[in-house]
Amino acid sequence: MKTRPISRVVATALATVLAGIGLALPAAGATGATGTPAHGTSHGKALQAGVDAIMRTGTVGVVARSTDPRGSRYATGGVADRATGAAVRPGDRFRIASAGKTFVATVILQLVGEGRLSLDDTVEHWLPGVVSGHGNDGGAITVRQLLQHTSGLFDYTADFPEFASTAGYQADRYRTWTPEQLVAVAMRHAPGFAPGEGWSYSNTNYIVAGMIIQKVTGHTWNEEVTRRLIRPLGLRDTLAPTTDPRIPGRHLRGYSSFEEAGPAIDTTELNASAGGAAGAMISTTADLTRFYRALLGGRLLRPAELTAMRTTVPAPELEPGWPGVRYGLGLMSVPLSCGGVYYSHGGDLPGYTTRNGISGDGLRTVVLNSTGDGSSGDGSSDSSTQQTQNALIDDELCA
């Protein structure tokens, strides 16, 4: 979930929602899983070269998709399953971790656009007493500050054995957590700074945001993301699970050693409640491409809310991974080597890394996922998985 530097609705109701946000249903039989293999064109060969470079940093498997007005290209490398040796396939599902925060922020901003919520509402207004103790004050934190990571709230995953070690993961990976329990972990700690007085990435912010979605709508964040985004966009391979630890269908298996000396373990199965609104979602490169294109293309949010999402502040904590990065509301901006910026939201869980880049108009999109720990390297593009992933995205968007 933390980015490294590092249920069903009746047709009438659905039509109302779509009309309100100006979104058309996909054509019958539409699918995002099509594309051209990387070896087909010079542009495709460049994408495959980028994937091969990521593989050389020690990843187990990689899947990447690049889309522009000319069409979509995909490239793969490595294996989806070490036990069977099955190769990575372009339509494989994977855990998207914190990339799901953009979905959650989009739902919040849709509610803002509907007049049901304000970005200036306080946490205390919607969730009395939930954020309190040890200097935490929900009455001083706004919804905007949650989405922007300027609340100062402690990141619960930093005091969470499930993500700290192999033993902790194996002991608790099937445990069910409530959002209240996750927030309570964070409330054991004092805030890092007064609300609005700093910036620090905290998964707690989005757990609280998910709770606010439920308070406003009467439905869980999972249900609202599914109703408002997954179904209308036809994201058939995207899931917002509650407690199911499995990834259904064809998928990439994750592997991590948790930075310990022992061998990597299979981390594929994880009770989704551990990530909740901060990082429980599952998707594919094709589905994420469709989502980002709709979002940045202005089909999911009204102009005022999309502008708010894209209004960024410095995010110094992420600078080592993305020099010049700034953070908006569930979306970050990253400078391009060819000028301008792209929008993005990475995601990390043990064994899975999601990276993406989207042009400001949504017409050019790159999405990739790699499994395994990869390499932190020495910061150079030849040895660091992070920098090699960034280079692939920049190369594709600047081509």
Q: How many domains does the chain have?
A: 1
Structural domain includes residue 20: no
Angle at 111 between CA 334 and CA 10, to 5 degrees: 115
User: 98 catalytic, yes or no?
Assistant: yes
> What's the whole-model pTM score?
0.90
In the set 98, 151, 200, 359, the catalytic residue is: 98
What is the spatial distance between Cα 339 and Cα 335, in angstroms, rounded to a whole number? 7
Convert the pLDDT of each residue in 2-29 to its tens digit: 543 333 222 323 232 233 323 333 332 2
Question: Which positions ≥6 away from 218 have C-beta within 8 Å?
Answer: none
Structural domain includes residue 324: yes
What is the spatial distance between Cα 285 and Cα 370, in angstroms, rounded to a whole number? 11
**Beta strands, E only, 292-351:** 313-314, 326-327, 332-335, 341-344, 347-349
Listed as ranges, residues in the chain with pLDDT below 70 are 1-36, 38-43, 377-383
Angle at 106 between CA 314 and CA 248, to 5 degrees: 110
Structural domain includes residue 232: yes
Q: What is the pLDDT of residue 239?
A: 98
The number of beta carbons lying within 10 Å of the beta carbon of residue 12 is 7
What is the spatial distance between Cα 20 and Cα 3, in angstroms, rounded to a whole number? 33
> At CB < 8 A and 24+ separation, what contacts does 297-303 make?
297/361, 297/362, 297/363, 298/22, 298/362, 299/21, 299/22, 299/23, 299/24, 300/21, 300/23, 300/106, 300/110, 300/229, 301/21, 301/106, 301/109, 301/110, 301/113, 302/21, 302/22, 302/113
Q: What is the pLDDT of residue 20?
A: 32
Structural domain includes residue 352: yes
Domain that holds residue 91: 34-398
Tokens 């200036």, residue?
120
Q: Could you write out the DSSP letters of every residue in 126-161?
A: HSTTTSEETTEEGGG-BHHHHHHT-S----GGGG-G
Q: What is the dihedral of CA 161, 164, 170, 172, to 10 degrees?
A: 20
CATH number at residue 280: 3.40.710.10
What is the spatial distance between Cα 109 and Cα 117, in angstroms, rounded to a whole number? 8
Q: At what angle do helices 101-113 and 285-296 cross, to 10 degrees?
A: 30
Helices (H), the chain: 11-21, 42-55, 101-113, 123-126, 143-148, 166-172, 179-187, 203-217, 221-225, 276-279, 285-296, 303-310, 385-398
What is the spatial distance between Cα 295 and Cα 362, in angstroms, rounded to a whole number? 7
Residue 321 pairs in a beta bridge with none
Structural domain includes residue 23: no
Structural domain includes residue 89: yes
Q: What is the pLDDT of residue 162?
A: 85
Q: What is the pLDDT of residue 382?
A: 53
Q: Is 129 exposed, middle or buried (0-12, 13-18, 19+ CB in 10 A)?
A: exposed
Three-state DSSP at 44 gives helix
Structural domain includes residue 275: yes
Structural domain includes residue 368: yes
Q: What is the pLDDT of residue 40?
A: 57
